[in-house]
Chain A
Amino acid sequence: MSSSATEHLSRRQKRRAFKQLEADRGAWYPRWFWPSFAAPAVLWQSIFFILPFYVIIAVAFGTYDALRSPVPIFQPWFWDFAQFQEVLSDIFGSDAKYQAVYLRTFAFIIIATMLCLVIGYTVAYFVARHGGRRKTLFLVLLIAPFWINYLMRMFAWQSLLADDGFVNDVFAFVPGLTPVAWLSGKPYTVILGLVYGYVPYLVLPVYGQLDRIGSSLLEAGRDLGASPWQTFRRVTLPLSKPALLAGVIIIMLPMMGDYYTNQLLSGSPKTTMVGNIIDRSVFEPGRGALGASVVLTLIVILLVPMIYYMRTTARQAVDR
């Protein structure tokens, strides 16, 4: 039905004509039909993200009761921003006691993420390209750590890294190396724990993407005279970029809130991370609003990589 033909019709008549047109084509669905497919996701997001997020805001700008437990305030017109402002001044002010913790957390996470990228990509590439018939076995081995509780794995590292543990035994055996007091508050021990704990989360999406890159594309690169390195750099790497980005986001987000890795492998004030501030404030009387305020700052910071990820993936979808 041309637009000129329907110009004289009222809105109701137009809708009826549109329905008739759809019916003539063999199917007509009410307007709510297709959007309704998003209902489970919307419901899920509402219950498990929007509501809890609002509670965090209500706690951050809330008050305390007689027992010094946090009392969320849900009416924005009663919100008290004093605690949030205090946290901001603790991060950005002249006497900013949390600034070092935020910077340290970023440093730990950036280093750990870089290491995860190198290790994770290498492993995923090996399995995808050279795994052959043993791909499934390699994948099972990659997933195997997930069968053991994260805390238990950290406890295992405590034993391995103890003064008289296996790692120091090896160090004592190898000429030129001396035993290290790994567990006495060393930043590199915390980074090691983060890398170990999160690297499988990066390997899996990267492997999935690499495995989907057709060999014909690589052969085409070779046919056009590219060396193996050039083929990797100009074909494989660009094609695996979405998975790398997804993997980085997947590991960075939980690392920002991680507190137990530091707690179990260090416990020193010198390695305190943002997650430890949140953890401590949750368990101390009269500190709930502080913890919630720190969570809000963290969310704002994490929005930056999230937006970058969404923009990049959206652009790639358009390009395709």
Chain B
Amino acid sequence: MDRRRRMHPATQEALNRREFLRRAAMAGIALPTAAAILAACSDPKEASGNAGSTTIPLARRDKPVTLPLYDDNPAIADGMEIEKGATLEIFNWSDYFYKKVLEDFEKEYDVTYNWTTFNNMSEAKQKMQAGQVADVFFPTVDVLGQMVGAKLLQPLNHSYIPNMEANVWPAYWDGDTPFYDQGWRYTAPYVIYTTGVGYRRDVISDEEAADQGYDLLWNADYAGKVGLYDDYRETLSMAMLRDGITDINTGDQATIDAALDSLKELIPLDVRTSINGTYVGLSEGKYDVHHAWSGDMIGAQYYLPSGTSTDVLGYWYPADHAGVVGNDTIVVPSSSEHPVLAHTFINFLLDKKHGYENFTWNGYQPPFTSINPESLISGGDVPKSLPLAVVTEEDFKAGYSILELAPDDDDKWQDAWDEFNTSTG
């Protein structure tokens, strides 16, 4: 029997409403369940973005890339007020900032900062994806395409960053530069560096270093005191350059294997890998020779035991400037809660005084037109024994940059690095 037919017309409507609410509630419960079931039935591999591919082409010097803009991820509008009293969330490598610079920013803009660190770019990307809130972030060039494609970064509004054109090398903002982000839509440069060979001058002479170059690391005289960075791209690239291969973003298996074989020759020499071996280990005499970033070498002077002269530090980089060269960038993540403050901070770091101060602490040089390589040495910021650690525009014209690889090619590099690290020589 239909119950509704037996009901009084006055109550029928009320019960209909109740029935409606009950059914709506049931539907509310059922729909997400249905969605969950449908989600469970659909292949997560398809939803995850084709396992590592993005539609943005890989940036190369001869194939520059204009990173796409998205309607649902716009830059901030012009002329907005700075978020007063806010806390600037900084997401950066550790030991990569002079705290005084940050404190000066606090004072100047009446804000505070919170500095969260990461150990490598993979970790940083994962945290950003997982919802890490940051106002400024410092990625390497080789992850930009992926991060822009995933809409993790927001475009910059250039009107807030006048110091870019005022102080920075034109190669980072003029016309269709830089090649990895034409028109600097998403990035400003943070610091620049070269990768060469660091050595102890009380053990190895400058002449020997100049004569041997990369081979210094393979010299059996320094067995047990040889160090490499724990970084698959840098290390295999260095082995390629040693063998005369200049395409350090190759996917060619034979070239990668040859670089691996070169590296394996170092294992009988008791080579060790670490990320701080240059500025800590070389300074303390644990190594005689170490694969080195120019900025680490300049920063190494602050890690020398007291009473040790900076003259013990030496750095070799190819005389023709044809080595590994690169820069880190500053970006504003799309998760930024204080984007105006973030833009202001970028402009602050690109200020001649503040950028230079930061360099005097961490050893990594900003690409400022005002910085004269000779004055860095004569002024005492760079030890006299490290003239080649000063980065010039010439290095970028002749050098090679480590750039993003296609996922399959990246796997080849990582497999090779894995094999090196598990090999007994």
Q: Which of the candidate stretches B18-26, B115-123, B383-391 sits at the interface with the other chain?
A: B115-123
Interface residue? A312 (CB, 8 A): no
Q: Quick check: B422 and A269 within 8 Å, CB to CB?
A: yes
**How long is the Cα–Cα vector from A66 to B277 in the complex, in angstroms?**
32
Q: Quick check: B48 and A65 within 8 Å, CB to CB?
A: yes
Interface residue? B421 (CB, 8 A): yes
**Count of residues in B whose CB is under 8 Å from the partner chain:** 51
Q: Quick check: A66 and B44 within 8 Å, CB to CB?
A: no
Interface residue? B52 (CB, 8 A): yes
Q: Provide the B286-306 mask, 1 if CB < 8 A to any CB of A, else 0.
A: 100000000000000000000
**How long is the Cα–Cα vector from A157 to B224 in the complex, in angstroms?**
18
Q: Quick check: B267 and A62 within 8 Å, CB to CB?
A: no
Q: Quick check: A283 and B119 within 8 Å, CB to CB?
A: yes
With a cutoff of 8 Å between Cβ atoms, the chain A residues found around residue B242 in the complex are none
**How long is the Cα–Cα vector from A68 to B146 in the complex, in angstroms?**
9
Kindly identify, within residues 249 to 288 of chain A, every residue whose CB is under 8 Å from any CB belonging to chain B: 263, 266-270, 272, 276-277, 280, 283-287
Interface residue? A163 (CB, 8 A): yes
Can you name 27 A-B residue pairings with CB atoms under 8 Å?
A65-B48, A65-B52, A65-B150, A66-B48, A66-B53, A66-B54, A66-B146, A68-B407, A69-B122, A69-B129, A73-B45, A75-B44, A78-B45, A97-B418, A163-B285, A163-B286, A183-B286, A185-B270, A268-B271, A269-B267, A269-B425, A277-B418, A277-B421, A280-B421, A283-B122, A285-B125, A286-B414
With a cutoff of 8 Å between Cβ atoms, the chain B residues found around residue A181 in the complex are 224, 270
Known: A97-B418, A100-B422, A280-B421. 10 other contacts (CB 8 A): A63-B48, A66-B53, A68-B410, A181-B270, A267-B272, A268-B273, A269-B267, A269-B271, A269-B424, A283-B122
Contact surface of A with B, Cβ cutoff 8 Å: 62-69, 71, 73, 75, 78, 80, 97-98, 100-101, 162-164, 181, 183-185, 263, 266-270, 272, 276-277, 280, 283-287
Chain A binding surface, main DSSP class: loop
With a cutoff of 8 Å between Cβ atoms, the chain A residues found around residue B411 in the complex are 286
Kindly identify, within residues 91 to 133 of chain B, every residue whose CB is under 8 Å from any CB belonging to chain A: 119-123, 125-126, 129
Interface residue? B420 (CB, 8 A): yes
Q: Please give me the residue from chain A that is nearest to B413 by CB atom.
A: A284
**How long is the Cα–Cα vector from A67 to B273 in the complex, in angstroms?**
26
With a cutoff of 8 Å between Cβ atoms, the chain B residues found around residue A98 in the complex are 422
Interface residue? B170 (CB, 8 A): no
Q: Quick check: A78 and B43 within 8 Å, CB to CB?
A: yes
Output the least CB separation between B265 and chain A (Å).
12
Q: Quick check: A67 and B150 within 8 Å, CB to CB?
A: yes
Contact surface of B with A, Cβ cutoff 8 Å: 40, 43-45, 48-54, 119-123, 125-126, 129, 143, 146-147, 149-150, 224-225, 227, 230, 232, 267, 270-274, 277, 284-286, 407, 410-411, 414, 418-425
Q: Quick check: A267 and B274 within 8 Å, CB to CB?
A: yes
Output the least CB separation between B65 and chain A (Å).
16
Q: Quick check: B150 and A268 within 8 Å, CB to CB?
A: no
**How long is the Cα–Cα vector from A98 to B419 in the complex, in angstroms?**
8
Q: Please give me the residue from chain A that is nearest to B50 by CB atom.
A: A66
The one of A65, A80, A97 that contacts B129, using a Cβ cutoff of 8 Å: A65
Q: Please give me the residue from chain B that is nearest to A273 by CB atom.
A: B422
Output the least CB separation between B406 and chain A (Å).
11
The one of B50, B143, B270, B285 that contacts A270, using a Cβ cutoff of 8 Å: B270
Q: Quick check: A71 and B270 within 8 Å, CB to CB?
A: no
Q: Quick check: A266 and B129 within 8 Å, CB to CB?
A: no
Q: Quick check: B422 and A97 within 8 Å, CB to CB?
A: yes
Q: Quick check: B45 and A267 within 8 Å, CB to CB?
A: no
Q: Quick check: B122 and A284 within 8 Å, CB to CB?
A: yes
With a cutoff of 8 Å between Cβ atoms, the chain A residues found around residue B227 in the complex are 267
With a cutoff of 8 Å between Cβ atoms, the chain A residues found around residue B420 in the complex are 269
With a cutoff of 8 Å between Cβ atoms, the chain A residues found around residue B418 in the complex are 97, 277, 280
